[in-house]
Amino acid sequence: MDLLLQHKRCANHTLNLVAAVGSMEARENARYKRTYDSAMSKVQALSNAIHRSTRYADIVEEEVGLTLLNPTCTRWCSSYTAVQRIVLVGTEKVQACQERMGQHPLTEDDMKFLDS
């Protein structure tokens, strides 16, 4: 007699796997990979700086008026949400923050890629 319920997969975990596999397939294209790596490395550097330094967090608060989100590997939509916040803030404000922090600023092409 079978007393255990049938195992159901977690929908969030399944979506994470789908997104991960799809993004890896897209990265096989050299031009896409280069563009993706350029834009996302700048997003990650900005996020890391803000979440490791209160001084940098204050710069973002002054320039933007809200905090930028930190993408994490444990939430499937965290990168998407972090990128959407940067797109919402806009190129000029994000670049102003990055320049005050001494980082390479996102270019217009980076922002177009993130917005697509």
**Residue among 65, 54, 105 at smallest CA distance from 88:** 65
Winning range, highest mean pLDDT, from 8-12, 65-69, 103-107? 103-107
Please check whether residue 6 lies inside any domain of the structure: no
**Strand, coil or helix: 105:** coil
Q: In the chain, pLDDT over 90 holds for what percent of residues?
A: 60
Within-domain flag for 77: yes
Number of domains in the chain: 1
Residue 103 lies in a domain: yes
pLDDT at 1 over 60: no
* Domain residue limits at 15: 11-115
What integer is the mean pLDDT of 23-39?
89
> Does residue 4 form part of some domain?
no
Structural domain contains residue 5: no
Q: Is residue 2 part of a domain?
A: no
Q: What is the pLDDT of residue 76?
A: 67
Is residue 16 in a domain? Answer: yes
Helix, strand and coil in the chain, % to nearest 5: 70, 0, 30
